[in-house]
Amino acid sequence: MKVGVVGLGSMGSGIAQLAIEAGFETVGREVDLARAESARDTIAHFLTRKVEKGQLEQDRCDGALSRLALTTELDSLADCDVVIEAAFEDLAVKHELFRALEDVVRDDAVLATNTSALSVTEIASVLARPERAVGMHFFNPAPLMPLVEIVRAERTSEAVCDVAFDLGTQLGKTPIRCLDTPGFVVNRVLIPLLNDCVRVLDEAGVTPEALDAGMQHGAGWPMGPCALLDLVGLDVHVHASEALYEKLREPRMAPPPRLVRLALAGKLGRKSGEGFYTY
């Protein structure tokens, strides 16, 4: 199987890393070569870390990196069996990509989207053959998080779901199947729960450290909610939360003002050096 990944940001590069480690020839596409090469350097860094920790042999690291081809042209994805789109979470952007991809890939190629907040059915609606589209929602960071949600859109074929499920397994993930509902499974539960946690910060007069300790030691969470939001990125969470609220109009889905203020101030968590905590 040959895998294409469109968009090599944090999610796309993680998915590409999974694919080359699993032995798949992989084509990574970015809008310019500098971004693509930066993503390859990031992948090489993480694989080298695994070698240094004794988790990966050097020859397997070298072999994995040799399986990654970079491109700025969608035409280079023409012979891929599965193309996973990991571009910016904007419906117009994804529509443009899916239209262009359908023009270049084989008739039997599967088009997957890694969207976390948009409707897979809406994304696939611009295709002449929407039955070939499926959601493959990986979690960040993709190389470490073991889950992938296989999202069946309104017109996704059973065979395409099976291909995505099998690919998720071959990538070393635990795939679960679900229908195309807002937030799918995990985010539908987790986003309002994290929003509730942030509201408690103000209402209960508790510090982020104390709230995290409470949820870790009182509820058995492996990571506290504030630390988790910093890891995910406050801007990412706010964007997903707003998208869920737009679809469902449930108050718990709306991002709390405190989160919005932090995101607007550029305090995005680990990636900016400051969020609920300083890094």
> Which residues form the catalytic set?
116, 137, 149, 187
Measured over the CA atoms of residue 139, residue 12, residue 169 and residue 163, the dihedral's sign is: positive
DSSP state of 266: T
Judge contact between 173 and 146, C-beta under 8 A: yes
- Residue 159 to residue 180: CA distance in whole angstroms: 17
Q: Are 29 and 7 in contact (CB under 8 A)?
A: yes
Q: Record the tokens describing residue 16, joined without a space.
A: 């590409």
Q: Where are the alpha helices (DSSP H) in 136-224?
A: 158-170, 186-203, 208-219
Bridge partner list, 212: none
- DSSP symbol at 126: T
User: Residue 256, Cα to own-chain centre: how many angstroms?
Assistant: 23
**Residue 247 Cα distances to 126, 187, 188, 263, angstroms:** 20, 13, 11, 21
Burial of 147 from C-beta contacts in 10 A (0-12 / 13-18 / 19+): middle
C-beta of residue 91 within 8 angstroms of C-beta of residue 120: no
Residue 7 to residues 35, 63, 97, 113, 202: CA-CA distances in angstroms?
9, 22, 10, 11, 38
Residue 43 CA from chain centroid, whole number: 16
